[in-house]
Amino acid sequence: MIRMYGFWRSAASFRVRVALNLKGLAFEEEMIDIDAGVQHTPDYLALNPAAAVPSIRIDDGPPLTQSLAILEYLEETHPTPPLLPADARGRSRVRALSLIWAADHHPLITPRIRRYLADEMGQDEAARTAWIRHWFREGLAVGEARLAGDAATGLFCHGDTLTFADLCLVSQAAGARGFKVDFSDLPTVSRIVENCLALDEFARAHPLRQPGAPAQH
Amino acid sequence: MIRMYGFWRSAASFRVRVALNLKGLAFEEEMIDIDAGVQHTPDYLALNPAAAVPSIRIDDGPPLTQSLAILEYLEETHPTPPLLPADARGRSRVRALSLIWAADHHPLITPRIRRYLADEMGQDEAARTAWIRHWFREGLAVGEARLAGDAATGLFCHGDTLTFADLCLVSQAAGARGFKVDFSDLPTVSRIVENCLALDEFARAHPLRQPGAPAQH
């Protein structure tokens, strides 16, 4: 029994949802309304003191947090199909790519950052949106520089098999599109994102397909 | 033959240096002067298009980047002494703790962010320093909330054996001290940091012991 606590817009929730789908693991998801501040309620803080989504409970174990740590746990406990390559250098490449998006860029655009920029630095909505767009764009551009012309890149970020890196890239790209960031000039990134989004496991996990998402337009 | 490209002040370089010391791996370190912008030179970008330190080359392999991906690689290729627990849930806890500091907080205070705050948002040095202190403090406070009262916490973040989480915590704590962030009111974090810094493998790796660091005062 897998119970996930996520949010429709959350890129980190999207990543974990795709991994669960790819590994064929059934789960129930409770939506934690980040916009309404539900992550700061005592009940949720008891699950995750960092007030972030997703958290996940498997059977009666303690909550697991941090999307990349959850992906590693799923990989270790449900290794088929694998989402990491078989060789150590390949795994390091996949983890490094994943961290470009999940560590270096995604944390920059989360609600706590936007709140600080507004409340402590007096930045208006236009300035905050410019910030968000800048870092989404830079994360995808760094990804392009890493992926393009690298023989290890294939149909997906690492050869022709899905890995953590694709989950992290696509979740970041979906967020970028939500903020109308154009990255059509990044051919490798754009191609991999389309290859992934064509798969049912990604499509079903997409933020805009989750409860609470705005109607698609 | 291990060649590391780091920087004295870099928390991510500190983490990797400690892991190399703990695993008894000899390495040479070339300092990439982040303050002088050396990470943006073509030679360095060829090593790491993300313009970040550390990167590491082992024998004649391609560069490895992203400190957590480097730690995982070192763990897989040099498993003794282990820096991850033996059980999957324990590993997930250690990785989640590590990501609190290495992903959720450390990226917020890097030079590229400070430049954006100055150049695009007109934030003066006092405001930038307040930003840095705020996120250092929050990362350590979230860590305290996760560690305190958790039976899995011991002499170190996970029981009485060093793990990735300690490397990430201590590197973040050293950065916080560099910016005069007081966290003496966080007893679990403070205790673990002191336990680690008492060890030679941490002491030798400390930012203030590296070439280029200011004289200690």
- My answer on whether B93 and B194 are in the same domain is yes
The pLDDT score that the predictor gives to residue B87 is 97
CATH assignment of the domain containing B184: 1.20.1050.10
What tokens does B205 get?
């790796």
Q: Is A216 part of any domain?
A: no
- My answer on whether B121 and B196 are in the same domain is yes
Shortest distance between the Cα of B29 and any Cα of chain A, in A, equals 20
Tell me the average pLDDT of chain A.
96
Phi, psi of B5 (to 5 degrees): -115, 105
Q: Is A52 part of any domain?
A: yes
- My answer on whether A56 and A155 are in the same domain is no
The pLDDT score that the predictor gives to residue A38 is 94
Q: Residue B2: left (phi > 0), alpha (psi -120 to 50), or beta? A: beta
The pLDDT score that the predictor gives to residue A217 is 55
- Inspect the interface and report whether the beta carbons of B69 and A99 lie closer than 8 Å: yes
Contact B104, B139 (CB under 8 A): yes
Contact B51, B113 (CB under 8 A): no
Owner of token pair 């990604």: A202
- Inspect the interface and report whether the beta carbons of A50 and B108 lie closer than 8 Å: no
- DSSP-based three-state secondary structure for A159: strand
Instruction: Give the residue from A176, A154, A29, A50 showing the smallest Cα distance to A101.
Output: A176
- My answer on whether B71 and B37 are in the same domain is yes
- My answer on whether B98 and B202 are in the same domain is yes
- Angle in degrees, CA B3, B4, B7, rounded to 5: 150
Amino acid at A79: P
Neighbour tally for A118: CB within 10 Å: 14
What tokens does A96 get?
């490094």
Q: Which residues of A touch B70 (CB under 8 A)?
A: 92
What tokens does B159 get?
């029981």
Q: Is B214 part of any domain?
A: no
Query: Which of A46, A81, A116 marks a domain boundary?
Result: A81
From the list B61, B92, B121, the residue facing A72 with the nearest CB is B92
The pLDDT score that the predictor gives to residue A9 is 94
Statement: residue A105 has pLDDT above 60: yes
A2 in contact with B, Cβ within 8 Å: no
CATH assignment of the domain containing A77: 3.40.30.10
The pLDDT score that the predictor gives to residue A215 is 82
Q: Is B165 part of any domain?
A: yes
Q: Is B217 part of any domain?
A: no
A182-191, pLDDT tens digit by residue? Answer: 999 999 999 9
- DSSP-based three-state secondary structure for A202: helix
Phi, psi of B3 (to 5 degrees): -120, 125
Range of the domain at A42: 2-81
A117-158, pLDDT tens digit by residue? Answer: 999 999 999 999 999 999 999 999 999 999 998 999 999 999
The pLDDT score that the predictor gives to residue B216 is 67
Q: Which residues of B touch A145 (CB under 8 A)?
A: 45, 49-50
- My answer on whether B10 and B31 are in the same domain is yes
Instruction: Give the residue from A50, A49, A47 showing the smallest Cα distance to A4.
Output: A47
Beta bridge partners of B6: B31
- My answer on whether B43 and B144 are in the same domain is no
Query: Which of B58, B77, B96 marks a domain boundary?
Result: B77
Statement: residue A8 has pLDDT above 90: yes
Which residues of chain B are modeled with pLDDT < 70?
216-217
Domain count, chain B: 2
A142 in contact with B, Cβ within 8 Å: yes
- My answer on whether B60 and B107 are in the same domain is no
From the list B68, B73, B121, the residue facing A99 with the nearest CB is B68
A111 sits in which H/E element: helix A111-119
Q: Is B216 part of any domain?
A: no
Percentage of chain A modeled with pLDDT above 70: 99
Percentage of chain A modeled with pLDDT above 90: 94
- My answer on whether A135 and A187 are in the same domain is yes
Residue B165 to residue B163: CA distance in whole angstroms: 5
- My answer on whether A129 and A153 are in the same domain is yes
Query: Which of A39, A66, A81 marks a domain boundary?
Result: A81
Q: What is the DSSP string of chain B?
A: -EEEEE-TT-HHHHHHHHHHHHTT---EEEE--GGGTGGGSHHHHHH-TT--S-EEEETTSPPEESHHHHHHHHHHH--SS-SS-SSHHHHHHHHHHHHIIIIIIGGGGSHHHHHHHHHTT---HHHHHHHHHHHHHHHHHHHHHHHTT-TTB-SSSSBTS--HHHHHHHHHHHHHHHTT---TT-HHHHHHHHHHHTSHHHHHH-GGGSTTPPPP-
Q: Is B107 part of any domain?
A: yes
- My answer on whether A32 and A105 are in the same domain is no
Helices (H), A148-186: 164-178
Q: Is A132 part of any domain?
A: yes
Q: Which residues of B touch A65 (CB under 8 A)?
A: 96
- My answer on whether A74 and A102 are in the same domain is no
Write down the pTM of the prediction.
0.97
